[in-house]
Structure 1
Amino acid sequence: MRVMVLVKATKDSEAGLMPSTELFEAMGRFNEELIKAGIMQAGDGLKPSSEGKRVAFDGSSRTVIDGPFPATNELVAGYWLWEVKDMAEAVEWVKRCPNPMPGPSEIEIRPLYEMADFAELLTQTA
C-alpha cells in the first residue's frame, strides 16, 4: 500500500527557520534507512506558504490567492511517499522518525487511492 506521510507545518517552519545541523543529519540517516528498506519512493521539504499560491475553483472561475496561508497547523512543511505493507508498518516507521521540528510537531499518514479502489466505477464505464 502506498501512503503519503505529511509533516505538518509549525510557526518555525512557516518563518523559514532551517533545521539545525544535528536535525538535518538525523533526518538524512532516517531517509537512508527508508531507502535501504525499500519504503521511500519520494520525499521533500516545502518552503513556507508565504512563497506559495493557491488557486480557488468555483465552476469555471479561478482565483489566485497569494500566501502566506492561515491555520499553520493545517499546512504541510514536507512529505514522503512510502510503499508499506499496511498502515501499522507506516506508523512504526513514523514513530522511529526524529522529531522533524525544533519543538512540538505532528506527522499525518494518509493512504493513497489505487486503481483497485475504482474497480466498480471502471466496470460501470466499460
Structure 2
Amino acid sequence: MESWTLTDGAAPMSADTVTEALRGRIAAGRLDTWLESTSGRSLAVVSNTERAMVMLLEHPGDPGEHATDPGADADGWSDGFELSNGQSDEYPDTDTVPLDEAFRIVRHILATGRPPADAAWVVDR
C-alpha cells in the first residue's frame, strides 16, 4: 500500500487528512505543496487560492501528468501561483482546476493511487 508524506517533513497524509492540511497551508500563504509516496512518486498542488495546478510525477525528472478543466475559458489565464522559492507562475485556466476539484482529486489519488476516472487529465510524457 502506497503512503504519502509532505516533503517538508510533516506527518504522513491520508485521504481523510489531506484536504485540511492543504487548506491550512493555503490559508497560511504556503501555496505550493509537494507530497512524496513510498513508491517514489510525487504529487504537487500549486494554488493561487482559487484554482490549483495538480501534477503527478512518477519519478524525479518525469514530465508527469496534470489535472485539467475542459470547461474553463480556453483564452483564460490565472496568475498568483506562488512557489516557496519566490517564483510566481501563471497558467492557462484549462491547465488548472477550481480548488475544491483539486482537493477531490488529491484525496482520490491518496486513497487509490490514481486520479478519479471522471477527472479531466493530461499526460505530459
Normalising by the smaller structure, the TM-score range is: under 0.3
Greater strand content = 2
What TM-score do you get using the length of structure 2 for normalisation?
0.24
Structure possessing the higher radius of gyration over alpha carbons = 1
Greater helix share, 1 or 2?
1
